[in-house]
Amino acid sequence: MRRLLLAVMRIGAGVLVLLIAAFMALASYYWLGWPDWLRLTLAIAIIPAVAVLWFFPGDGRWMRRGAALALIAVFFAAYSQKEVLPRTFVPLHERVIDANFSGNIVEIVNFRDAIHPVGAPAQPRWTTRSFDLSELAGAQLVYQPFGNSAATVHVMMTFAFRNGDHLAVSFEARRTSWDKFDALAGFFRHDQLYPVLGTERDLLWKRLAHVPPNELYFFDIQGSNAEIRAYLTRLLEFVAELHDRPQFYSTVSESCFTTLIKLSPQVRDAVPWYDLRRWVPGASVGLLQELGVIENDVTEEELTRRQKLGPGVKPPWKFETANDWSRHLRSRIGVTQTASTGQ
């Protein structure tokens, strides 16, 4: 029995070492700042090098295994010190957003209000906007599928104010190209976490200006204005932190959805780390219903059907103000009949 246990432990240790080596290889490949030849060489060489050190039989085996463990330790010591490096980003991600507080007023620097022609490149517009947090009137979670799995969903927030203004918030991977995004890179501290704060006619129409347009779903957040204000304040404080100390985007722990979860104590503390719904944006509706954050007196399927944005959304340039377009947008939630988009 003891021999069997030792054999299982040896096999388990070997498998773990190989998995760590695979992680090291991919992390090396996505390591910014290193020359391409070095990244590629390490990515190719690390797994066989670690495997030889760990599995090669004969005299000195424990010394070789010690060398393998030392190599792993040195790598992860360096990996833990990785920093976000300056790069050339797409125009929509070119500027860094900041948030400055003065009592109830928050001033957002590099607030975005881009124009998104249908099927054409965006036209970035940046400004400075102030919002009175005491005038907050509600919030909605916006759910945008962009693939066929629960993992390929983007989740955003939008906050409404009594004067009709809206503040849309999206956490994204800061892009160097719209054509070369690598989802796998999000596991290896490659991309910068990028908050976008802007108008709904920017962040939401951007999705509708796709050809074909993305689907959007809107879910009202249940809670008092004080609770919603506290949540928005945490989001904005985190935005200010990112301005001063950039962080990496992480598919697991710092993505569009997990960032929103971490900044909400009501959700963060209620959902154990091993609950996969905490990490999968496509599971957000059912999870938030269970927690009472969004409406839960109907099934997830019924709520999702009812809160889907219908056809017939006209482009923002058909309206005089951003507030006018936001009101028009909500008039199309739950609409099912076919209608011309006016695009």
Phi/psi zone of residue 223: left (φ > 0), alpha (ψ -120 to 50 degrees), beta? left
Residue 343 lies in a domain: no
Residue 225 Rama label (left phi>0; alpha psi -120 to 50; beta): alpha
Domain count, the chain: 2
Contact 53/72 with Cβ under 8 angstroms? no
DSSP per position, 280-341: -GGGHHHHHHHTTSS--SS-HHHHHHHTBB-S-PPPGGGSSSHHHHHHHHHTTBT--S----
**Does 32 lie in the same domain as 180?**
no
Give the gyration radius of the chain's Cα atoms: 24
By residue range, what is the domain housing residue 156? 91-330
**Residue 334 CB: number of other CB atoms within 10 A?**
13
232 and 160 part of one domain:
yes
Please tell me whether residues 107 and 57 are part of one structural domain. Answer: no
User: Do 109 and 202 touch, CB atoms closer than 8 A?
Assistant: no
Q: Are residues 133 and 67 in the same domain?
A: no
Domain boundary among 79, 107, 136: 79
Mark 35-59 as b/e (b = at least 16 C-beta within 10 Å).
eeeebeebbeebbebbeebbeeeee
Are 66 and 101 contained in the same domain? Answer: no
From the number of C-beta atoms within 10 Å of its C-beta (0-12, 13-18, 19+), residue 182 rates as exposed
Same domain, 71 and 96: no
Q: 222 and 119 share a domain?
A: yes
> Strand 105-112 and strand 126-132: pairing?
antiparallel
Domain-terminating residue out of 59, 79, 99: 79
Residues 131 and 62 in one domain: no
Alpha-carbon dihedral 218, 255, 230, 135, rounded to 10 degrees: -50
User: Could you say which residues of the chain have pLDDT below 50?
Assistant: 339-343
Asked, for residue 60, whether it belongs to a domain, the answer is: yes
pLDDT score recorded for residue 337? 64
Give residue 119's pLDDT: 82
Give the model's pLDDT for residue 338.
52
Residues 114 and 49 both lie in one domain: no
The candidate with the shortest Cα–Cα distance to 276, out of 264, 266, 286, is 286
Q: Are 125 and 317 in contact (CB under 8 A)?
A: no
CA nearest to 263, candidates 134, 77, 139: 139
Strand partners, 130: 107
Same domain for 75 and 95, yes or no, is no
Handedness of CA 169, 232, 149, 302 (dihedral sign): negative
* 166 occurs within a structural domain: yes
DSSP assignment letter at 187: G
Q: Is residue 152 part of a domain?
A: yes
pTM for the model = 0.89
How many Å apart are CA 73 and CA 30, to the nearest integer? 19
